[in-house]
Amino acid sequence: MATTAAPSPAQPLSESSLARISAALDGRWAERRRASRTVCTEPDLVSVPGLSVADHRARVLAAIGELANRGEVQRAFPARLGGADDPGGNIAGFEELIVADPSVQIKAGVQWGLFGAAVLHLGTAHHHDELLPGIMSLAVPGAFAMTETGHGSDVASIGTTATYDPDSQEFVIHTPHRGAWKDYLGNAAQHGVAAVVFAQLVTGGVNHGVHAFYVPLRDTDGERDERGDLPMLPGVTSEDDGVKGGLNGIDNGRLAFDHVRIPRTNLLDRYGQVAPDGEYSSPIASPGRRFFTMLSTLVQGRVSLDGASAVVSKMALAIAIRYAEQRRQFTGADPDVETVLMDYGTHRRRLLPLLARTYAVQLLHNDLLERFHGVFSGEHDTDSDREDLETLAAAAKPLSTWHALETLQTCREACGGAGFLAANRLVGLRADMDVYATFEGDNTVLLQLVGKRLLTDYGRSTAKMDVAGQARWVAERAGDMALHRTPLRRASQSIRDWGSRARSAEELRDPAVQRELLEDRVETMVEEIALRLRPTHKASAAEKAAAFDANQAELVEAARAHGELLQWESFTGALESITDSDAKRVLVWLRDLFALTTIERHLAWYVVNGRLSAQRARTVTSYVERLLLRIRPYAGQLVDAFGYGPEHLRAEIATAAEGERQAEAMAYARARRASGEAPVAEKDLVRRSGSTQTPREAAAAPA
């Protein structure tokens, strides 16, 4: 029915326009992405619904062995050891592994992105030479033993100890109580023969805080048990985490250590060394800074989950939109032709804003990955580069992982019962993605970190600037479209001078207005929280804690708003590089849809705070509806640009099958009508002949 509501038939985008959009989405490492995507169609790598946990684990172990053999997963490691010193390209390829099976991706991530990366970034040359070859080849599968049952997000408080014994020149790794068991570790339940274990380093009666140690777990010379596992080494105990909500191809488990001794040299000692006599030294004097520096080397986990979330959101929308372009249900204006789902107002409203946000997520991710590569390749590796990278990753990952869950669920529901079948992928991907919201940093905790950074920046900027400085700073930023030079752009109420534009301008589609609205919200929220927290500077610790707690939920909201601003900036930045005018026109609509649906979601804030008049607020929704109609004819092409074909999606409903079924049904109905054998509908008879006749009499009456 809504075909008539759409504007006059839209010209499809040309192949070259589409290619330009694909190039923007796939970014700097497009070739790596596409190569990895192709590998992910290999029959031995792809997920198989309904496997038992044991079979799935065995299959995934074999799959990552295959990836190791092909050299797909070692590009971040040093070239001298067979890697490529290519951190960005490595992550780009890694992110696409989710196409095969999220368990394959995360098992690979445990081995090379966590276990191997810890040896690389926290160890020194001799660790690299001795340990990395076995890790890179998967000869030595390993666990990353940071999280404990009792401590997830609060890594600084873990209970495992590594106490130095100068007599034997060994560390004694020990689990003092049940809460200090390492938990949720991939490779811990079955396959890991070693682990990087995080523990409180104690030497000479001093606790120097959390450090990482290389600890053998299983006896590689021992005899495998009935399920094929090597025996544990003395003092090491493993427990299986059992069935999980997803990612069941990975053998997550728990580890405990009972006074397990390892050589002194197994301390991964880049940021903290212990001499044979037990003397501790570190290039970083502050224990706090040292801790955060060590943890910051592991940011790639968050970066790559952000990218994987973009990939999976693209896959979900490709499945649901291709199905919605074929699937028909209920008739509209024409009683003989059922309407395709994509032409329903509710369907557009459910799917197209997610499509727009998926573009934003991918484009922010591309910028994040560039930054990551800059830091880890050493090209842009100052303290502030690292700090910005961490804040950016902490803002991007929660938004993208939650977005992926929302997208998968909405797409699943939009496909009805067909969406619930494992054969159509959506439910399996959703189950696997679930934990992305809490691992590698709980989303809520990460947003609190971002919020604290915003508060700190606010404090810095107001403390350091005089009025003239503030004015200059604003002037500098007014025309500045560059990405997140600093997370916080404006500093104080007194310099908020753009507020009038949104109220007076005709056009919510003016990017300057969109930017102003998104930016203003972050900054005002941060400023208000800062003001509310200020009176507590002389307060007791308990009062300060209470005040912070009272503002915690809003701080998280401010961090989320900051992430949305970053997404908008990346989307807008990407538009600048697109010269193809057709592609640009459609992408500008999509960016506008992203901006306007984001503003719509927070509309109460804008109206309550006087940023939008009630009148203008009403136009937000009507402009969104207009954009949905404009974009609708391009929905299919906008998911084609993602580059995922049936061979990647492996979902029957994302092939031509549904269209063929519809065509068959329509052909059947046509043939019946033509044959004259089709029965007359009772309601048509009743209409024609009144209700005094029986239906049979009516049928017998001449038409």
Chain residues 151-180 in contact with its own copies, contact rule CB under 8 A: 151-154, 157, 159, 176-180
Residue 472 CA to residue 465 CA, distance in Å, equals 10
Shortest Å distance, C-beta 148 to its own copies? 10
Site string for its own copies, 77-116 (x = CB under 8 A): ----------------------------------------
Nearer to its own copies, 135 or 315 (CB): 315
Shortest Å distance, C-beta 242 to its own copies? 6
Within 298-317, which residues bind its own copies (CB under 8 A)? none
Shortest Å distance, C-beta 600 to its own copies? 8
Residue-wise burial string across 588-626, b where 16 or more C-beta atoms lie within 10 A, e elsewhere: bbbbbbbbbbbbeebbebbbeeebbeeebbebbeebbeb
Shortest Å distance, C-beta 335 to its own copies? 8
Q: Which of 14, 286, 382, 493 binds its own copies (CB under 8 A)?
A: 286
- Six token digits for residue 17: 């326009």
Site string for its own copies, 625-654 (x = CB under 8 A): x-----------------------------
Shortest Å distance, C-beta 187 to its own copies? 15
Within 203-222, which residues bind its own copies (CB under 8 A)? 203-209
Shortest Å distance, C-beta 172 to its own copies? 13
Shortest Å distance, C-beta 438 to its own copies? 5
Question: C-alpha 106: how far from its chain's center?
Answer: 13
Residue 461 CA to residue 494 CA, distance in Å, equals 13
The 3-class secondary structure across 477-502, one letter per residue, is: HHCCCCCCCCCCCCCCHHHCCCHHHH
Q: Which of 190, 448, 461, 470 binds its own copies (CB under 8 A)?
A: 448
Residue 23 CA to residue 244 CA, distance in Å, equals 37
Residue 369 CA to residue 364 CA, distance in Å, equals 9
Piece in contact with its own copies (CB under 8 A), picked from 258-266, 299-307, 485-493, 662-670: 662-670
Piece in contact with its own copies (CB under 8 A), picked from 16-24, 122-130, 587-595, 679-687: 679-687
Within 116-135, which residues bind its own copies (CB under 8 A)? none
The 3-class secondary structure across 592-619, one letter per residue, is: HHHHHHHHHHCHHHHHHCCCCCHHHHHH
Q: Confirm or reject binding of residue 422 to its own copies (CB under 8 A).
A: yes
Residue-wise burial string across 465-498, b where 16 or more C-beta atoms lie within 10 A, e elsewhere: beeeebeebbeeeeeeeebbeebbbbbeeeeeeb
* Contact status, residue 186 vs residue 107, Cβ threshold 8 Å: yes
Shortest Å distance, C-beta 629 to its own copies? 8
Nearer to its own copies, 43 or 50 (CB): 50
Within 601-620, which residues bind its own copies (CB under 8 A)? 603-604, 607-610, 614, 617-618
Residue 172 CA to residue 353 CA, distance in Å, equals 54
Residue 653 CA to residue 658 CA, distance in Å, equals 6
Shortest Å distance, C-beta 309 to its own copies? 15
Within 352-411, which residues bind its own copies (CB under 8 A)? 405, 409
Size of the site for its own copies (CB under 8 A): 130
Nearer to its own copies, 306 or 434 (CB): 434
In what order do the strands lie in the sheet containing 182-185? 182-185, 253-257, 236-240
Shortest Å distance, C-beta 510 to its own copies? 21
Q: Which of 150, 231, 499, 646 binds its own copies (CB under 8 A)?
A: 150
Q: Confirm or reject binding of residue 332 to its own copies (CB under 8 A).
A: yes
* Contact status, residue 203 vs residue 193, Cβ threshold 8 Å: no
Q: Confirm or reject binding of residue 47 to its own copies (CB under 8 A).
A: no
Question: How is residue 198 annotated by DSSP?
Answer: E
Q: Confirm or reject binding of residue 497 to its own copies (CB under 8 A).
A: no
Shortest Å distance, C-beta 514 to its own copies? 17
Shortest Å distance, C-beta 505 to its own copies? 18
Residue 30 CA to residue 79 CA, distance in Å, equals 21
| Number of neighbouring beta carbons within 10 Å of residue 509 | 17
The alpha-carbon radius of gyration of the chain (Å, integer) is 29
Shortest Å distance, C-beta 213 to its own copies? 16
Question: How is residue 11 annotated by DSSP?
Answer: P
3 state DSSP class of 204: coil
Nearer to its own copies, 468 or 542 (CB): 542
Residue 230 CA to residue 228 CA, distance in Å, equals 7
Q: Confirm or reject binding of residue 500 to its own copies (CB under 8 A).
A: no
Who's near 475: CB < 8 A, 6+ residues apart? none
Nearer to its own copies, 78 or 150 (CB): 150
Piece in contact with its own copies (CB under 8 A), picked from 76-84, 275-283, 309-317, 488-496: 275-283
Range list of β-strands (E), 251-315: 253-257, 260-263, 273-274, 280-281
Nearer to its own copies, 235 or 278 (CB): 278
Who's near 231: CB < 8 A, 6+ residues apart? 218, 219, 222, 223, 225
Q: Confirm or reject binding of residue 668 to its own copies (CB under 8 A).
A: yes
Q: Confirm or reject binding of residue 280 to its own copies (CB under 8 A).
A: yes
Within 505-524, which residues bind its own copies (CB under 8 A)? none
Piece in contact with its own copies (CB under 8 A), picked from 26-34, 146-154, 379-387, 529-537: 146-154
Nearer to its own copies, 30 or 53 (CB): 53
First to last CA, the chain: 29
* Contact status, residue 565 vs residue 325, Cβ threshold 8 Å: no
Shortest Å distance, C-beta 29 to its own copies? 30
Shortest Å distance, C-beta 57 to its own copies? 12
CA dihedral 37, 638, 364, 564 (to 10 degrees): -140
Q: Confirm or reject binding of residue 9 to its own copies (CB under 8 A).
A: no
Q: Which of 35, 53, 471, 495 binds its own copies (CB under 8 A)?
A: 53
Residue 137 CA to residue 387 CA, distance in Å, equals 32
Report which of 173, 44, 107 is spatially closest to residue 116, judged by C-alpha positions: 107
Q: Which of 540, 579, 581, 675 binds its own copies (CB under 8 A)?
A: 540
Nearer to its own copies, 479 or 690 (CB): 690
Q: Confirm or reject binding of residue 493 to its own copies (CB under 8 A).
A: no
Q: Confirm or reject binding of residue 550 to its own copies (CB under 8 A).
A: yes
Pairing of strands 328-331, 273-274: unpaired
Q: Which of 125, 243, 463, 482 binds its own copies (CB under 8 A)?
A: 243
Nearer to its own copies, 92 or 435 (CB): 435
* Contact status, residue 77 vs residue 136, Cβ threshold 8 Å: yes
Residue 272 CA to residue 427 CA, distance in Å, equals 45
* Contact status, residue 141 vs residue 192, Cβ threshold 8 Å: yes
Q: Confirm or reject binding of residue 288 to its own copies (CB under 8 A).
A: yes
Nearer to its own copies, 558 or 583 (CB): 558
Give the up-direction half-sphere exposure of residue 538: CA atoms within 13 A in the CB hemisphere. Answer: 1
Piece in contact with its own copies (CB under 8 A), picked from 384-392, 460-468, 537-545, 576-584: 537-545
The kind and range of the H/E element at 216 are: strand 206-216
Nearer to its own copies, 139 or 545 (CB): 545
Q: Residue type at 698?
A: A
